[in-house]
C-alpha cells in the first residue's frame, strides 16, 4: 500500500506439525469431499484465535472442486490470523487481531440498494441461514508482494446477487465497510477517506470463484479477517476483497474505490494479479509465502485462476 510498513515477524508453524501435515496433504486432495478442513486438521482452527461465537452450528464442508493445492502448503490459521491488512484498526499487520478483538458485530445488517427491484436490508444471521457455507481453499495474493493459502467458508456470491434481483441497467457493485471510529482506532486517521469502499464489475461479482465469506478455517470469521461478512475474489489483489461489509449497491457506472482514489497510479479498478505488470514501486513477479518459511515463489497470472477467469477480460 502507499505507506510501506516494516514487515512484522511471523510465528512459524512448529516443524513437527508442519511436516506431518505436509505429508498428509500430499495424498489428501481428492479424499476430503465430505469433511470440513477444520475437522480434518483440528489444529489449524486453533483456539488461540479470537473467533466470533457461532449462533448456530457452523460446519462448512469442503467443496471438492477447491481442495488443498498441489503446489502450495496451507497457511496455518494462527499465522493468517496474525498477519492482517485491516486499516480501520491499524496499519500494523501484527496488531490487527488484538485491536479488532471485541469489535461489536451484533447486530449486523447489510443494506442492498441501487439498481435492484426492491432495496432491502438483511441481518447477518438471516444471511448465514439463507446461504449455507461451503469451504474452498484459495490462494490469496496481496499487492504488497506476499501471499497465503486460506480455507474460506462462504457461498457463491452469484446466489446472493440473484437474491438481490438486480435491474438490467446494473453493471457494477459498490461495497462499503463499516464506519466506527469509536471502536476502530485506524478510522481516527482522517487522511484516509473512510469508510473503506470497493467495487467489482457485475460479471466479476457473479463469477463462480467470487465467494460471499462468512467464515475461515471452518469457523465464523474472526474480526481481523473481516467479520461478520466479506467478499473474496481470489484472482485479484487482496484489497479487492472488502471486509466487514455493511452496504452493497448495484450501479450502472464503475464506482470509485478506496485505494484507487488514494493512489490512482498504483491501484487500478481491475487489479487482477499479473506478474508482468510491476507496481510502480516494486516488482510483482514473485511473492513471499507467509508462514511457510516465507519462501519466495513465482506469482501466477490471475493468481493461478487464469483458466477460469481470463475469458472475462478478452475484450
Q: Which residues bind ligand MTE (CB under 6 A)?
A: 84-88, 142, 177, 196, 225-226, 238-239, 241-244
C-alpha cell at 118: 426492491
Alpha helices in 144-295 (DSSP H): 157-164, 202-206, 258-262
| Widest pairwise Cα distance in the chain | 55
Cβ atoms 241, 315 nearer than 8 A: no
The H or E element containing residue 201 is strand 197-201
Question: For residues 115 and 147, which CB has a smaller minimum distance to ligand MTE in the complex?
Answer: 147
Tell me the closest approach of the beta carbon of residue 85 to ligand MTE, in angstroms. 4
Closest distance of CB 197 from ligand MTE, Å: 9
- Compare residues 110 and 142 and give the one whose CB is closer to ligand MTE: 142
CB 231 within 8 Å of CB 211: yes
Please, how many CA atoms are within 13 Å of residue 133, restricted to the half-sphere of its CB? Answer: 35
Q: Is the peptide bond before 195 cis (omega within 30 degrees of 0)?
A: yes
252 close to 169: Cβ distance less than 8 angstroms: yes
Output 115 or 215, the one with its CB closest to ligand MTE. 215
Contact 134, 155 (CB under 8 A): yes
Q: In what order do the strands lie in the sheet with 245-251?
A: 120-123, 109-114, 245-251, 172-177, 197-201
Q: Which is nearer to ligand MTE, 244 or 284 (CB)?
A: 244
Instruction: Select 103 or 239, whichever has its Cβ closest to ligand MTE.
Output: 239
Nearest residue to ligand MTE, by Cβ distance, number only: 238
Would you say 115 or 192 has its CB closer to ligand MTE? 192
Amino acid at each position: 500500500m502507499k505507506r510501506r510498513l516494516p514487515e512484522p515477524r511471523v510465528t512459524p508453524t512448529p516443524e513437527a506439525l508442519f511436516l506431518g501435515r505436509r505429508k498428509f496433504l500430499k495424498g489428501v486432495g481428492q479424499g476430503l469431499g465430505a469433511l470440513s478442513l477444520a475437522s480434518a486438521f483440528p489444529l489449524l482452527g486453533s483456539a488461540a484465535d479470537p473467533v466470533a461465537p457461532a449462533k448456530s452450528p457452523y460446519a462448512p464442508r469442503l467443496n471438492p472442486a477447491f481442495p488443498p493445492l498441489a503446489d502450495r502448503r496451507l497457511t496455518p490459521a494462527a499465522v493468517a490470523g496474525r498477519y492482517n491488512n485491516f486499516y480501520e484498526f491499524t496499519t500494523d499487520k501484527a496488531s490487527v487481531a488484538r485491536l479488532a478483538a471485541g469489535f461489536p458485530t451484533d447486530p449486523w445488517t447489510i443494506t442492498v440498494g441501487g439498481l435492484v427491484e426492491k432495496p432491502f436490508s438483511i441481518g447477518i444471521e438471516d444471511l448465514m441461514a439463507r446461504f449455507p457455507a461451503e469451504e474452498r481453499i484459495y490462494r490469496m495474493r496481496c499487492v504488497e508482494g506476499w501471499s497465503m493459502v486460506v480455507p474460506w467458508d462462504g457461498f457463491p456470491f452469484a446466489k446472493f446477487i440473484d437474491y438481490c434481483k438486480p435491474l438490467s441497467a446494473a453493471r457494477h457493485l459498490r461495497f462499503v465497510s463499516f464506519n466506527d471510529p469509536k471502536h476502530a482506532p485506524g478510522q481516527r486517521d482522517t487522511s484516509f477517506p473512510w469508510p473503506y469502499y470497493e467495487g467489482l464489475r457485475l460479471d466479476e461479482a457473479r463469477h463462480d470463484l467470487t465467494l460471499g465469506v462468512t467464515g475461515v478455517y471452518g469457523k465464523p470469521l474472526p474480526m481481523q479477517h473481516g467479520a461478520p461478512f466479506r467478499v473474496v475474489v481470489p484472482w485479484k489483489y487482496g484489497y479487492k476483497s472488502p471486509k466487514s461489509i455493511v452496504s452493497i449497491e448495484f450501479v450502472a457506472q464503475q464506482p470509485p474505490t478506496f485505494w484507487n482514489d488514494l493512489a490512482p497510479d498504483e491501484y487500478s479498478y481491475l487489479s487482477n494479479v499479473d506478474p508482468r505488470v510491476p507496481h510502480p514501486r516494486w516488482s510483482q513477479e514473485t511473492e513471499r509465502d507467509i508462514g511457510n518459511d516465507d519462501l519466495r515463489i513465482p506469482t501466477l497470472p490471475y493468481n493461478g485462476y487464469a483458466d477460469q477467469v481470463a475469458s472475462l477480460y478478452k475484450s
